């Protein structure tokens, strides 16, 4: 029986760690085979600050996913976020040796590798080099230069940079948890793969992923990533504000936020009150829902305004850079009541909540289709894409090996025959070749006439 090819995405978040196992079915949709989650105890604002705790949380999530699916997890694709992430625009070029040969993938790889060698600030490392537009011999606005002729190949790149230490710490946690690190992907890019449609990316869209520790932004226009940013506030800060403002413990503050919280204070009446059990024999505490909404509203407005500054920095107000598809909200924080309306009110842009169900097979668990799992599903998609690339490379190398072996066998076969027999074989080979040449010429002639 053929072994099932499956891939794994691992989302190391501030509030939760999710391991998700899946494979692509025959319709190109993703089938979830198993999911495991655990409380994240060693991550603060997207950055690992306690290695031991993080390893424990990863192992817990992985064990649950393995028990769920009956499969063993080996290599994983991991997301990275945190306030240390920054992005920059960069242009670079290469001069090709032979302009008479068409541009191929190898040329693009050479150009991208050249950008990877850029000298960064001390302690920083390049995570992603994302091509935006290409120029061939000065001719601009080329999206796909493969197959074109040209001597000078230029490109504009969106370069995502992060701190070496943070990246190494993530790698260390993965290895210590007994896993192999397949790839590291920027979390907003993973989320965008899971919840955005190609039409939205073409029209122009801003994806806002509100997590526990950070709010990630990714802006697309004309199908290309244009801007990324990480804002060091998320749902956790809102919970902290409720805890301080209402003088209650964190667990109660989180429950209050998810059950009764709203980003719009106007909808609660003054007499709406919720009672919270007191600590260890103390009197219950009464909390006004209007006050709760005011606390949430103040912090959410701050987060949205910071994101909106980034959207303006990209140049959304210019006609050419306008984001026609508006904003898509995802992540656990996007489930806050009336958040969509508040975002529309502050930014004046159309807004929807992004669910990662577009790429999932029909029989997938409803829970996985929640905005909470957008990053995890995106990381799984990335892992599947990587697996496909590896398979293609293996196939190519197998084909070239088989071709070389056939050549070798033919040489050996010729070497073993007498000279006159060799002449006969050679003549037959030439005749066969000339028949093929004639057929090729006729086909070429037919195609030329058809044009």
Helix H or strand E encompassing 425: helix 419-450
User: What confidence score (pLDDT) does residue 277 get?
Assistant: 85
| β-pairing verdict for 86-95 and 205-210 | unpaired
Flag whether 75 is in a domain. Answer: no
Flag whether 96 is in a domain. Answer: yes
One domain for residues 156 and 288: no
- Give the domain range for residue 110: 86-161
One domain for residues 156 and 203: no
Confidence class for position 98, pLDDT limits 50, 70, 90: confident
Flag whether 97 is in a domain. Answer: yes
Name the β-bridge partners of 227.
219
Confidence class for position 2, pLDDT limits 50, 70, 90: very low
- With 70 as the cut, is the pLDDT of residue 370 above it? yes
Instruction: From 357, 381, 401, give the residue that closes a domain.
Output: 357
> What is the rounded distance in angstroms from the CA atom of residue 405 to the CA atom of residue 148?
33
* 21-32 confidence digits (pLDDT tens): 999 888 888 989
User: What confidence score (pLDDT) does residue 391 get?
Assistant: 81
Flag whether 298 is in a domain. Answer: yes
Burial-class residue 132 by CB neighbours within 10 Å (0-12, 13-18, 19+).
middle
One domain for residues 340 and 202: yes
Tell me the angle at which helices 235-246 and 289-314 cross, rounded to the nearest 10 degrees: 150
| Average pLDDT estimate for 121-146 | 91
Q: In 150-275, which ranges are continuous DSSP H helix?
A: 164-176, 187-195, 198-203, 235-246, 250-260
Instruction: From 338, 357, 376, give the residue that closes a domain.
Output: 357
Confidence class for position 426, pLDDT limits 50, 70, 90: low
One domain for residues 152 and 99: yes
| β-pairing verdict for 75-80 and 180-186 | parallel
Q: What's the CATH number where 263 sits?
A: 3.30.420.40
- With 80 as the cut, is the pLDDT of residue 397 above it? no
> What is the rounded distance in angstroms from the CA atom of residue 384 to the CA atom of residue 390?
10
One domain for residues 209 and 335: yes
Instruction: From 306, 337, 357, give the residue that closes a domain.
Output: 357
Residue 50 vs residues 40, 171, 339: alpha-carbon distances, Å: 10, 13, 32
One domain for residues 216 and 153: no
Flag whether 211 is in a domain. Answer: yes
Flag whether 397 is in a domain. Answer: no
The neighbour count for residue 51, using CB atoms within 10 Å, is 13
One domain for residues 277 and 340: yes
Number of domains within the chain: 3
Comparison of pLDDT for 358 and 72, the residue scoring more: 72
Burial-class residue 340 by CB neighbours within 10 Å (0-12, 13-18, 19+).
middle
Q: Is residue 41 classed as helix, strand or coil in its secondary structure?
A: coil
Strands (E), 189-319: 205-210, 215-221, 224-231, 273-276, 285-288
One domain for residues 227 and 352: yes
Q: What is the CA radius of gyration of the chain?
A: 28
Q: What's the CATH number where 131 sits?
A: 3.30.1490.110
| β-pairing verdict for 124-136 and 152-163 | antiparallel
Residue 102 vs residues 107, 299, 361: alpha-carbon distances, Å: 10, 54, 39
Cβ neighbours of residue 210 under 8 Å, at least 6 residues apart? 234, 235, 303, 329, 330, 331, 332, 333, 334
Confidence class for position 3, pLDDT limits 50, 70, 90: very low
- With 60 as the cut, is the pLDDT of residue 261 above it? yes
């Amino acid at each position: 029986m053929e072994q099932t090819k499956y891939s794994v995405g691992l989302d190391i978040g501030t509030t939760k760690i999710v391991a998700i196992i899946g494979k692509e079915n025959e319709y190109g949709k993703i089938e979830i085979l198993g999911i495991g989650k655990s409380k994240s105890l060693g991550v603060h604002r997207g950055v690992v600050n306690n290695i031991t705790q993080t390893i424990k949380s990863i192992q817990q999530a992985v064990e649950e996913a393995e028990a769920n699916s009956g499969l063993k997890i080996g290599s994983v694709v991991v997301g990275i976020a945190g306030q240390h992430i920054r992005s920059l625009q960069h242009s670079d070029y290469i001069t090709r040796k032979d302009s008479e040969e068409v541009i191929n993938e190898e040329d693009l790889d050479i150009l991208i590798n050249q950008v990877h060698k850029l000298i960064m600030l001390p302690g920083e490392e390049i995570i992603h080099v994302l091509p935006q537009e290409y120029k061939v011999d000065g001719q601009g606005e080329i999206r796909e230069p493969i197959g074109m002729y040209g001597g000078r190949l230029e490109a504009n790149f969106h370069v995502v940079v992060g701190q070496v230490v943070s990246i190494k710490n993530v790698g260390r946690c993965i290895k210590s948890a007994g896993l192999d690190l397949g790839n590291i992907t920027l979390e907003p890019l993973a989320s965008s793969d899971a919840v955005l449609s190609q039409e939205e990316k073409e029209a122009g869209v801003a994806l806002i992923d509100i997590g526990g520790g950070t709010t990630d932004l990714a802006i697309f226009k004309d199908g290309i990533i244009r801007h990324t940013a990480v804002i060091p506030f998320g749902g956790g800060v809102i919970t902290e504000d409720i805890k301080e403002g209402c003088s209650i413990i964190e667990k109660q503050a989180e429950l209050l936020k998810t059950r009764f919280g709203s980003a719009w204070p106007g909808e609660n009446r003054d007499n709406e009150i919720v009672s919270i059990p007191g600590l260890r024999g103390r009197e219950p505490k009464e909390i006004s829902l209007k006050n709760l909404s005011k606390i949430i509203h103040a912090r959410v407005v701050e987060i949205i305004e910071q994101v909106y500054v980034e959207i303006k920095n990209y140049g959304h107000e210019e006609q050419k850079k306008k984001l026609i598809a508006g904003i898509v909200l995802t992540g656990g924080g996007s489930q806050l009541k009336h958040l969509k309306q508040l975002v529309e009110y502050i930014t004046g842009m159309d807004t929807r909540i992004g669910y990662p169900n577009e790429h999932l097979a029909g029989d997938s668990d409803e829970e996985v289709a929640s905005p909470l799992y957008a990053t995890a599903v995106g990381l799984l998609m990335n892992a599947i894409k990587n697996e496909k690339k590896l398979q293609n490379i293996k196939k190519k190398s197998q084909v070239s090996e088989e071709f070389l072996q056939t050549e070798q066998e033919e040489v050996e076969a010729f070497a073993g025959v007498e000279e006159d027999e060799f002449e006969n074989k050679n003549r037959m080979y030439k005749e066969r070749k000339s028949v093929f040449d004639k057929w090729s010429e006729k086909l070429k002639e037919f195609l030329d006439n058809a044009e």
